[in-house]
Amino acid sequence: MKSKLTVIVTVCTLIAFVACRKEKEKEPQIDDIKFVVPANFPKPVYGFENNAITKNGFDLGRKLFFDPGLSTTRLISCGSCHQPFAAFANLGHEVSHGVDDCLGARNAPPIFNMAWHSEFMWDGGVKNIEIIPLNALNNSCEMGNSLSMAINYLNATKPYPELFNKAFGSNIINSQQMLRALAQFTAILVSANSKYDKHIRAEAGGEFTADEQSGYELFKQKCSACHKEPLFTDLSYRSNGLDETSRDIGRD
């Protein structure tokens, strides 16, 4: 009888231990990935106060970015047009190709150093980094989907409920979580390790050759009015006048 009681107590203890382990595994991991502002960069516009970057959130955002399942045809992802090898722009196309090979009105803009921007897209029509994906998601010639359909897809597709639970503490996926996960991925795409950046920060590997220094001086004289350092943009909008005729009226 005593041995049976010992076995029962041992089994109950193991069950309780396993249950506690499973419960702990459901808790979202909050180990932040530190967002480091380069020494030669200004203060970012996007502050992450309400969307602190975590490893789980970043990994989820990256998975969403490259998932063609978010398009209505299940063939076009964000990464289809924002190609990593081309500074997350669309190389080799005058305009981007969306669902059913539909030609868009403009080419996909590059994605880097976006945490320093207050306006997005070629015309500045989007004012918050977290809602940028809606532009492509809802566009009939890009991803051809809707926000509600995208959320339905995520809730019904493994392993997304588990991944969202790890990142945000809930396996019931909503639009805010999806958009914030994508923002965690895109906001941390920082370009600040070029030879130029190292030169400005007086770091090893940043020593310009004589020709490079001459080119830099010429750039500052002739180009920097629009391509303002260190982001090489003044975040304004201009018509470059390259096309004699254009189908795009540009910024309203």
State the pLDDT at residue 69. 98
Question: What's the CA dihedral at 98, 147, 178, 25 to 10 degrees?
Answer: -120
Query: What count of Cα atoms within 13 Å lies in the side-chain half-sphere of residue 210?
Result: 0
Confidence of residue 145 (pLDDT cuts 50, 70, 90): very high
Q: CA–CA separation, 16 vs 10, rounded Å?
A: 10
Confidence of residue 213 (pLDDT cuts 50, 70, 90): very high
Q: Which CATH class is domain 55-187?
A: mainly alpha
Residue ranges per structural domain of the chain? 55-187
Q: How many Å separate Cα 101 from the centre of its chain? A: 24
Confidence of residue 82 (pLDDT cuts 50, 70, 90): very high
State the pLDDT at residue 98. 93
State the pLDDT at residue 19. 45
The DSSP code for 208 is: P
Query: What count of Cα atoms within 13 Å lies in the side-chain half-sphere of residue 147?
Result: 12
Over 90: is that where the pLDDT of 22 sits? no
> Which whole number is the average pLDDT over 144-157?
98
- Full-prediction pTM beyond 0.75? yes
Q: Which of 162, 143, 165, 173 is nearest to 66 (CA)?
A: 143
Over 70: is that where the pLDDT of 130 sits? yes
Q: How many Å separate Cα 222 from the centre of its chain? A: 33
Q: What is the pLDDT of residues 27-52, one digit of tens each?
A: 455 556 788 999 999 999 998 999 99
Q: CA–CA separation, 120 vs 180, rounded Å?
A: 16
> Which whole number is the average pLDDT over 154-173?
97
Over 70: is that where the pLDDT of 25 sits? no
Over 50: is that where the pLDDT of 10 sits? no
